[in-house]
Amino acid sequence: MSAPSDRNKAIIEEFRANAGKVGGHFAGKTLLLLHTVGAKSGHERVNPVAYVLDGDGFAIVASKGGAPTNPGWYHNLLAHPHITVEVGVEQFPVVAGVAPEPERSRLYDKMIAMLPVFAEYRSRTSRVIPVIILRREKAQAS
């Protein structure tokens, strides 16, 4: 399982089989499954992503391991911010928004506190790594 898609597939399967818990790098950490719609393809994509809670929102970081470009899911969120996430055994709609400064830095530091490797990701790139806040969509009155 060397390809990222193979690793993601295994993490997704483990996540769903264990009520949102996985081992390895994410053991004991908070992880969600991010369902996005491809900005160009229109196809659904599912990505496991670490998150930290912030009030009623879930903060995720578009680090891509410190690569010089943002991950594909980040571009998908910009194009289609109304998405679905899986947290534990629950699946629900959210709306995504990019955190502005100084909130972005505060939330990035909160992610580092949970997963220190995010400090290394930040040092690998000259880009400002975006932080996205996912907030539950309010139910529509009928």
Residue 57 located in a structural domain: yes
Any bridge partners for residue 94, and if so which? 83, 136
Alpha helix segments (H runs only) across the chain: 4-17, 72-79, 103-114, 117-123
CATH, residue 103 = 2.30.110.10
What residue numbers bound the domain in which 36 lies? 4-136
Residue 142 located in a structural domain: no
Q: What is the model's pLDDT at position 4?
A: 55
Dist CA 38 CA 62 (whole Å): 16
Residue 141 located in a structural domain: no
Which pTM does this prediction carry?
A: 0.91
Segment 78-96, tens digit of pLDDT:
999 999 999 999 999 999 9
Which of 22, 25, 1 is closest to 86 using CA atoms?
22
Q: Which two tokens stand for residue 12?
A: 């997704």
Segment 1-46, tens digit of pLDDT:
345 577 889 999 999 999 999 988 888 889 999 999 999 999 999 9
Q: What is the model's pLDDT at position 55?
A: 94
Number of structural domains (the chain) is 1
